[in-house]
Each structure stands twice: as structure tokens, then as C-alpha cells.
Amino acid sequence: MGQQVINGLFLGSIYALFALGYTLVFGVLDILNLAHAAVFMVATFVAVALVGHGLDILLALPLAVLFAGLLGLVLERVAFRPLRARTDSNIAGLISSLAAATIIEAVALEIWGPNITRFPFGTMPEGPASQFQLLGGTVSRLQLTIIAVAVLLFLVLTWLVKGTRLGREVRAVAESPRSARVLGVNVDRAIAAAFFISSALGGAAGVLYGLAFNSISPDMGHGVELKGLAVIVLGGMGSMPGAVLAGFALGLTEVFVVANLGGSWRDVISFAGLFLFLVLRPRGLMGAAATREA
């Protein structure tokens, strides 16, 4: 039981990180950025490559996250900004994000090949010496590190969004781009900032996911992409606290479903949940009504 809670929190923290970035862009632009999972994947490969060149993972992680953020800026510039004036920008944006995802995946496939890549042995301490007993279960130092990094990133993000001028501008744009502009907010800059933060979070989730499961391939984003969709719907589209809550809820539920029903039912839960939530409670746990807009 305790073991399952720990595993669930661990999985949930990765889902939450991934979904936070996903939902941030949705909140600001009303666009589903399907390239988010590609950024997640590429950041992981970048981290592997950096570690492979002898960098410590504690240095490789922030660098990969920075790379992901910059890639987010490029995405915004190439695939989203040109479409912003279109009346059907939310559908057009979804499609151009798909295009961007496909291109990124193609590049990753060409550079790193279709096979599974792993972090070099010894990237993180392994073996019995690095394990603890907690809540009646076994926790590895890796798992604790991942949960700690995730919590740290939640705190940084909360400070960025609530405590800084840029964060307030991003929230103002999410509320209403027109009134934000009237209030003197540089909307382009706020949207670019949202993309940087979003992609950085997606990249962080990718590196942590890669460390956790150590099975890295160009299509590793596919599963998380749809899981992330379930999380942001459950949390309420655009709601960041909702995404964190729903991320942990999904992580815990999955671990318990696997333990009690078997592994093949794990994914059914998230999609059935996504579907039922959209039909019965479109606003999710803490979001605005989905039937009204976007």
C-alpha cells in the first residue's frame, strides 16, 4: 500500500509537470499544442547526449530544460504566431503543432535512430545502497530526486506566475488578450514567455521520465501526449493547480489499477476518465466550462 502510494506520487509528479506546460499554453492561447510531447522527447535525448559527453546529470538536466524552452520559442514563432489572426486559429494551431511534432520526431529519428536509448550506467546512483524505507515501502534515491525536482519546479513556476511581472502579464493574456493589450501588456512577449515556460516544463518532465524508466526513443512522447490530455481535461483546461492535482490523481489511480486489475487496464482508466469528464463535467476539477468557449 505504502509502496503503491510512493510509486503513484512518483508517476504523478511526471504527469503533473508535463500537463502543467500543456495547460499553460492552452490557458493563454486556447490552442492545444500537440508538439509538447515532441519537446518532451527531444529534451530527454539532449540530456542523454550531454551525459554521454561526460556532463553530470545535475548540469545536463537544466541545460536540457533550457534547450526545451528555446525550442518552445522557435515553435511559437514558426507554428503559432503566423496563425494567430485566423478565425479558426484553434483548429489551425492544433494542426500546425502536429506538423511541428512530426518534424521534430523525424529529426530525432534521423539523429538517434528508432531503437531504445538509455542513460549511461551510473548516471544516477543505483543498487541497494541508494534505497530507503519509507511509509512501509522501498524508495530509491532516484524516485526521491525526481519527486523533489518536480516539487521544486512547481514552486518556481508558482513564483514565476504569481510573483513576477511577467507572470502577471501571462495571466492577464490568459484572461483576455484584448484587455491585456489595453492595459499595456506586450501580448507577443507574454505568449512567447508562456511557450518558453511550457516547453521547459515539458522538457523537464521528459528528462525525469527518461531517468525514471530509462527507455528513451523518438516515439516515447506518444503515450504521454494522450495521458497529458486526460490530465488537463480532468484538471480543467487551462487550470494549473488543476493540472497538478489531476496529474497526481492519475498517477495514483494508474498504480492502483495496475496492482489490482492488471497492466492492460491502466490506460483504459485515463481515457475513460477523460471521456466521462468531458461529457459529464466539462469544466474538470477546477476549470471553466468547456461548452462555452474555444
Partner 1 sequence: MEQLTDIYLTYQSTIGYIGINALLALSIYVSLSCGQLALGSAGFAAIGAYASALATMKADLPFPVALLVAALLPALVAVPLGLPVLRLKGVFLAIATIGFGEVVRLGLVNWDYVNGAQGIVAIPQKASIWMIYLAVAVTLFLLWRVRGSKWGFALEAIREDEPAARTMGIPSTQYKLAMLVLGAALAGLAGGLEAHFTFMVAPNGFGFSRVVDMLVFAVVGGAQVFWGAVAGAAFLTVLPEALRELAPLVGIEPGPLRLLVNGLVLLLVILFLPAGLVSLPRRLRERRAARKAARAPAGGAGAAA
Residues lying near partner 1 in the complex (CB under 8 A) are found at: 30-32, 78-79, 82-83, 86, 88, 90-92, 94-96, 98-103, 105-107, 109-110, 114, 222, 225-226, 229-230, 233, 237, 264-265, 267-268, 271-272, 274-275, 278-279, 282, 290-294
CB of 101 to partner 1, least distance (A): 8
79 or 166: whose CB is closer to partner 1? Answer: 79
Q: Closest approach of Cβ 248 to partner 1, in Å?
A: 20
d(CA 183, CA 229): 32
Cβ proximity to partner 1: between 226 and 259 the closer is: 226
**Which residue, 27 or 167, has its beta carbon nearer to partner 1?**
27
Minimum gap (Å) between residue 113 Cβ and partner 1: 8
> Which residue type sits at 185?
V
Q: How far is the CB of 74 from partner 1 (least distance, A)?
A: 12
Amino acid occupying residue 256: F
Please say which residue, 278 or 286, places its beta carbon nearer to partner 1.
278
259 in Cβ contact with 247 (< 8 Å) = no
The radius of gyration of the chain from alpha carbons, rounded to an integer in Å, stands at 19
- Residue closer to partner 1 by CB (options 95, 183) is 95
Chain centroid to CA 279: how far? 24
Q: Are 96 and 83 in contact (CB under 8 A)?
A: yes
What are the C-alpha distances in Å from 56 to residues 14, 51, 125, 210, 211?
21, 6, 12, 15, 13
Rounded Cα distance between 238 and 273, Å, is 18
Nearest distance from C-beta of residue 254 to partner 1, angstroms: 13
CA quadruple 60, 64, 65, 67: dihedral positive or negative?
positive
Min separation Cβ 265 and partner 1, Å: 7
- Angle in degrees, 0-180, between the axes of helices 141-163 and 165-175, rounded to the nearest 10: 80
Percentage helix, strand, coil for the chain under 3-state DSSP, each rounded to 5: 75, 5, 20
Nearer to partner 1, 91 or 183 (CB): 91
Identify which of residues 109 and 183 has a Cβ nearer to partner 1 in the complex.
109
Q: How far is the CB of 155 from partner 1 (least distance, A)?
A: 29
